[in-house]
Amino acid sequence: MTPHTTGDQPDHRKARALTGALAIAALVAALVALWQTQSNPLGGRAYCWGAWPEDEAPFRRGDRDRIADEVLPGPGRPAGQCSLRWHGGRGSGAYEQRLDLRLGTGPREAGERRSWLGELFGGGDVPLPDGLPGFTAAASGTGALVLPESCDVDGRPSVVTLKSAKALSAATAGELLVRAANTATRRTSCTTLPPLRLSRVPSPSTTGQESCGIAGLPEEHGTGTGSPRNSDFHSCAIAGTGTGTAAPAGPATWAARFTTTARPRLVALFDGLTGDRPPAPGWRAHGSIDAASALVRADCGGRPTVFAMSSGPARTHTRLDDPREVFPLYVDAVAAHMGCAPLRAG
């Protein structure tokens, strides 16, 4: 009689179980890869961490050749970037667009951080509505949005920044920032707060030829973009004398940039940069003023408030863009609009 051997059956069952487990693992990996590349077979593709669906702004009907190079943020990895390029239009209306999106904290070292902040706030920035801790640039549609405090890294706020090769409207740029910020917080699981909402369109404002609303500056010296009427945010730029006064100060034409904010998360970006001494005798503030820049922090009606200025590539080397001359006048003007008590002795 031939013996009936059963010793290999457990091995067959183990092999089948292993094969099944590997198939499931492969399926899960494929789904994860699908998710990470932002491909959704049911709803189309979404770009830049999944924040921007292909059928919504910034895209238009007929856009093509979309290419995204991105590094996704995630739990324990509160940083990311995305470079998105595409072509749109036809014939004489054809164009190429590029958006660069980043999530990070900026430099730690004080000098590098001040330079970074000087570029982040571009002058003529439009605050996001409802006190959201962000802004867009009136001329280009670029901007930034600061994440909640629970998303800080080593004490520095995490910021979503947006740069655009072609101008975007303030409404589009604001919506892109809010969607990207919500996606970043969801991916990093850094907050339990509800998602941010853009309840209305950011409202650009211009002072025409009022030189940023700074009393005492001749109007013909430049153009201010921005208005002191906001109670917690003011930003403007003054063009150099050779650029005329018909357009806002562009990237290479600005003589001076000014920024003021009392929005707590924006103020937090400047933490550790103003020291504990007044910039000059008689000031009710801490900070410094030199020939190229100025930065002070003060209590303004019970709110920590930051005032900043930097001189630019089109500076005239006159009192128009010398921080030692014009910055005190700027602080006086904006502080009065914000309802602050005088921040320096008259």
pLDDT band of 201, cuts 50, 70, 90: confident
Residue where the block lists tokens 């059963």 = 6
pLDDT band of 105, cuts 50, 70, 90: very high
What's the token pair of residue 328? 């005190």
Q: What pLDDT shows up at residue 247?
A: 41
pLDDT digits (tens, 9 = 90+) for 249-261: 455 688 899 999 9
Answer whether residue 210 shows pLDDT above 60. Answer: no
pLDDT band of 167, cuts 50, 70, 90: confident
Q: Report the 10 Å Cβ neighbour count for 67.
A: 11
Q: What pLDDT shows up at residue 266?
A: 98
Q: What is the dihedral of CA 226, 227, 233, 234, to 10 degrees?
A: 60
How far apart, in Å, do the first and last CA atoms of the chain sit? Answer: 116
Q: Report percent pLDDT > 70 for the chain.
A: 76
Answer whether residue 214 shows pLDDT above 70. Answer: yes
pLDDT digits (tens, 9 = 90+) for 69-96: 999 999 988 899 999 999 988 888 899 9
Please give the residue that has the higher pLDDT: either 8 or 327: 327
Domain ranges for the chain = 45-188, 211-337
Residue burial 48-64, b: 16+ Cβ < 10 Å; e: rest = bbbbbbeeeebbeeeee
| Strand partners of residue 82 | 70, 101
The HSE-up count of residue 259 (CA atoms within 13 Å, CB side) is 30
Nearest CA to 188 out of 82, 50, 75, 101 is that of: 75
SS3 187: helix
What's the token pair of residue 40? 């959704």
